[in-house]
A and B are shown apart, each in its own frame.
Chain A
Amino acid sequence: MVRKVLFDCDTGGDDATAMCLGVASRDIEVLGVSACMGNLELRQTLRNALHLMEFLGREDIPVAKGSEKPLVRELWVGDKNERPLPIPGLEKLKKQPHQLDAVEFMAKVLRESDTKVDLIPLAPLTNIAKLMMFHPDLVREKVGNIVLMGGAMYFGNVTAAAELNFYADPEAAKCVFNFGMPIVMVGLEVCEKAYLCYDDLEKIKAAGTKPAEAFYNIVKQSLDTYGSRYAEANGEKARVYMYDSITVVYLLHPEIFTTVKAKVRVEANSSICDGMTVCDTREYGVDPAEKTTTVVLDCDREKYVQLVAEILKEAK
């Protein structure tokens, strides 16, 4: 069975790696991409998503323009510098955004699909929260799985409490986790287990496809830029995390991951915890029926790398 998928992204190198896997996999049909601010300003995340689809030769996949700022807060982005993707062709980019905005684009796709569509949110949840607020029945009727990257059960990265996507728009994350649908949360724990290092690069490159080329370039550039920071601090090999890529591998191969069921809620009204995912896994004190989020905590790293290489090879 081929899964229909919508990506919501703040592209972002790791978002691009997730879309490379989605486009490459013969088990996934990418119905569209929506852009949101997050890692970068919307201007850049939109451009990068258009650029990636053009590079992959998938001009047919619509890219819609989404939220420029969070639901209620001032804009905060991870990086204000120019961050084009390390793939050729930006100067001759022709692909234009879809005429609908992200939320109405996603609604249209859901409405027109005769089967369920999986959502893969990889950005702050601003677009997704709006989709759920504006079109609740459509989401309940047509959305299949929601496999998102964001949050952390133990340690944040932007602050001690919060991971970047939810720090950027805590109200949106709160809205999505309170919507009432099961969610798979790919948080920082599993992302840091599924690291990539220079030794893995050859396997990725050897896949020999366009998505593999983009994936390789992104990981290589990231290793060259950030990889040594971790290595020097810990006396280990250079490594980087392609956080968002894990969502697609999970969707296709959940069996290589370790998970825990939790009632997950997001703090948006605190002194130091805004954006924190509070993962209630307690034996007592919480209704087991409310533990509807699957928190992904660990994975078999070797299998993750192997599956990435295999999926990238499937591209036509």
Chain B
Amino acid sequence: MAELKKIPLIIDCDPGVDDAVALFMMMAQDRYEILGITPVNGNKPLENSEKNSLMLCELAGREDIPVLHGAHKAVFAEGRTAGAIHGATGLGGVVLPDPRKQLEKEYAWDFIGRKAKEHPGELEILAIGPLTNLAIALLKYPELAGQVKRIVIMGGGISTGNMTASGEFNIWADADAARIVFRSGIPMAMIGLEVCNEGRIMADEVAALKAGGPVSRVAGQLIGEREERSGGKGAVLCDALAAAYMIDPGVMTEVFDAVVDVETGGFITEGRTVAKRIYREFADEKANTVVCWHIDRPKLAEMIIQLCKKLDG
């Protein structure tokens, strides 16, 4: 049987505890071919995002994946980070050997522009950090909007934020960029805080990871540190849900179509993702986003465990 052509994919990220798990999942699956990783200033400063991306590729035995040079601040505004939420380096208490692998000289946005042109109508992007690199790419290469097939993001919340009452970190950290991306016309899928708060990883699942090989153990430690702080509620692992949805959309048990836009100003709503459901009042409008709403939690956990196991060989 002829091998199916893999879907070209770029992963834009700010590793990040949950980014690391998402990267493991994507490096293990075989539906997509990862053309490159584009780190961005986010959970931690850009330097951490870049270095962590290189180290995680090496740990997973995927030195072949190019890691590009990303944006060090928000597209228009100053850069924001998540403080100590992801530990000192972005990978919690996990210490990995310094990378031998080098960062590419090319900028993230030029790489995205080039790959979209090489794979018109096919390229998909998994974006699990602030959307700065993608916004710069759209500003520099407006034709990108017609070339990218889909962007799956972890970001936003319809009813809540985390950094503020309205702002989820990835959107809040660069709301201008998020608005550019949501208004680009590229079909989006959004994994927001509602579903993320549902898709928690529990202690027994952490234990299963810790009993595995080197990649599983690192995933187990990263998730375990969060699980321990959760008071038994389980670790919230936002980015892993976005990876899971790309690999198997069936992991989501409810999604809906919406027009999503982003508040860039506001006294109390900066970074809010605002969603119109496409039925009833707004039935005439065309959706730009599939909003993921509920998840099969045990299936998510099983996917994480099995994909890490696969990387461990």
Contact B274 A272 (CB under 8 A): yes
Q: How large, as a class, is the contact surface on chain B?
A: 20 to 34
Contact A161 B274 (CB under 8 A): yes
Cα–Cα, bound, A157→B280 (Å): 10
Contact of B165 among A229, A268, A278 (CB under 8 A): A278
Contact A269 B160 (CB under 8 A): no
Cα–Cα, bound, A229→B281 (Å): 9
Q: Is A81 an interface residue (CB 8 A)?
A: no
Cα–Cα, bound, A154→B160 (Å): 9
Cα–Cα, bound, A160→B287 (Å): 13
Among residues of B, the one whose C-beta sits closest to the C-beta of A153 is B159
Q: Is B259 an interface residue (CB 8 A)?
A: yes
Contact A234 B279 (CB under 8 A): yes
Q: Is B265 an interface residue (CB 8 A)?
A: yes
Measured between beta carbons, the chain A residues less than 8 angstroms from B164 are 285
Contact B162 A282 (CB under 8 A): yes
Measured between beta carbons, the chain B residues less than 8 angstroms from A279 are 159-160, 165
Contact of B269 among A153, A155, A273, A282 (CB under 8 A): A273
Q: Is B277 an interface residue (CB 8 A)?
A: yes
Contact B159 A271 (CB under 8 A): no
Contact B269 A160 (CB under 8 A): no
Contact B266 A155 (CB under 8 A): no
Q: Is A263 an interface residue (CB 8 A)?
A: yes
Q: Which of A153, A160, A234, A282 has the most CB of B within 10 A?
A: A160
Cα–Cα, bound, A282→B281 (Å): 29
Nearest CB on A from B32, distance (A): 32
Q: A265-B165, A282-B160, A282-B162 are in contact. Are A157 and B266 (CB under 8 A)?
A: no
A256-287 residues with Cβ-Cβ distance < 8 A to B are 263, 265, 267-273, 276, 278-282, 285-286
Q: Is B272 an interface residue (CB 8 A)?
A: yes
Q: A153-B159, A155-B277 are in contact. Are A270 and B165 (CB under 8 A)?
A: no
Contact A272 B263 (CB under 8 A): yes
Contact B165 A286 (CB under 8 A): yes
Q: A154-B158, A278-B165, A285-B162 are in contact. Are A233 and B279 (CB under 8 A)?
A: yes
Among residues of B, the one whose C-beta sits closest to the C-beta of A157 is B281
Cα–Cα, bound, A265→B269 (Å): 10
Cα–Cα, bound, A233→B283 (Å): 8
B162-188 residues with Cβ-Cβ distance < 8 A to A are 162-166
Contact A160 B261 (CB under 8 A): yes
Cα–Cα, bound, A276→B279 (Å): 20
Residue-wise, chain B 260-295 has the 8 Å CB interface mask toward A (1 for contact) of: 010111111100101111011111000000000000
Measured between beta carbons, the chain A residues less than 8 angstroms from B274 are 159-161, 272-273, 276
Q: Which of B159, B163, B279, B283 has the most CB of A within 10 A?
A: B159
Nearest CB on A from B194, distance (A): 9
Measured between beta carbons, the chain A residues less than 8 angstroms from B280 are 229-230, 233-234
13 sample A-B contacts, Cβ–Cβ < 8 Å, listed by A number: A154-B159, A155-B275, A157-B281, A160-B259, A160-B276, A234-B279, A267-B267, A273-B166, A278-B268, A278-B269, A278-B272, A282-B165, A286-B165
